[in-house]
Amino acid sequence: MSLVEPADALLAIDIGNTRVGLGIWDGDGLHDCRRVPVDRPGEHRAALEETWRAMNGGRRAVVIGSVNPGWTPGVQELVEEVAGLSALRVRDDLPLPMPVEVENAREVGVDRICSAAAAYERIHGACAVASFGTAITIDCVSEGGHFLGGAILPGFQMSCDALHRGTAQLPRVSAAVPATVFARNTHDAIVNGVVYGVLGALREIVERYATELREWPKLVITGGNAPLVAGLVDYVDAVVPDLCLMGIALAYRSAAGQA
């Protein structure tokens, strides 16, 4: 691991399966967040330059959390060109921001662990952390702040697309708030099945976490479809759109003794 110096301002970068997220962490917390498609490298530079110009503070650093190794080297090169700094990567250059109690920590996506750490920093107790992105992850953190593992499901759109590709006549639809409980056409039947199926899985998994923990964990949700979920259930404690970026910044701050 590299020697980590304290920073006045951090540029946090989250390289996911679908999008690259960027945000600034400083004395005001996380702000100036933006996202660009991961497969449009031409937009990466503009977003990076705009975010870098918005940063204040004398000591700056760049930290990356990535679950997409194919695009990571290109983003790192852009950081060096735009910022004149070498970006540090969570796990490769920086320790994970919380203890991980699983069989093989390297199999767990950095995004899951960073999101869990940011949720724990907010809750200060046992919590479940669900991210609704390309895939859906529902993870659990112990009262003492240890990542205990979790579950992985297909994301909303992935499920919709799989039904379309795997059948002869089912149309391709997009996930949305169900129009009615009793779907009266094929489109609505797919939407209801996918959306209500995910909500049922979320409740079931969190209930099982509660049974093991002997207490009901606070539920924090994030990801592009988090608002959809929050509008349909009454057991979400917090919706935090930029949770993973917060956790990536936390990994740097912890390594630098600033957390």
Taking residues 228-234, what's their average pLDDT? 96
- Edge-first strand order for the sheet with 60-66 is 29-37, 19-26, 9-15, 60-66, 88-89
Residues 67-125: tens digit of each pLDDT: 999 999 999 999 999 999 999 999 999 999 999 999 999 999 999 999 999 999 999 99
Taking residues 173-188, what's their average pLDDT? 96
- DSSP letters along 144-197, please? TS-EEEEEEEE-HHHHHHHHHHTSSSPPP------S-SS--SHHHHHHHHHHHH
Which domains does the chain possess? 9-94 (3.30.420.40), 105-245 (3.30.420.40)
pLDDT band at 46 (very low <50, low <70, confident <90, very high): very high
Q: Report H helices in 33-185.
A: 41-53, 72-83, 110-123, 156-165
User: Of all residues in the chain, what percent carry a pLDDT higher than 90?
Assistant: 96
**Whole-number pLDDT of residue 69:** 94
**How far is 19 from 222, CA to CA, in rounded Å?**
14
Question: Is residue 57 scored above 80 in pLDDT?
Answer: no
Residues 119-168: tens digit of each pLDDT: 999 999 999 999 999 999 999 999 999 999 999 999 999 999 999 999 99
Catalytic residues: 111
**Whole-number pLDDT of residue 56:** 83
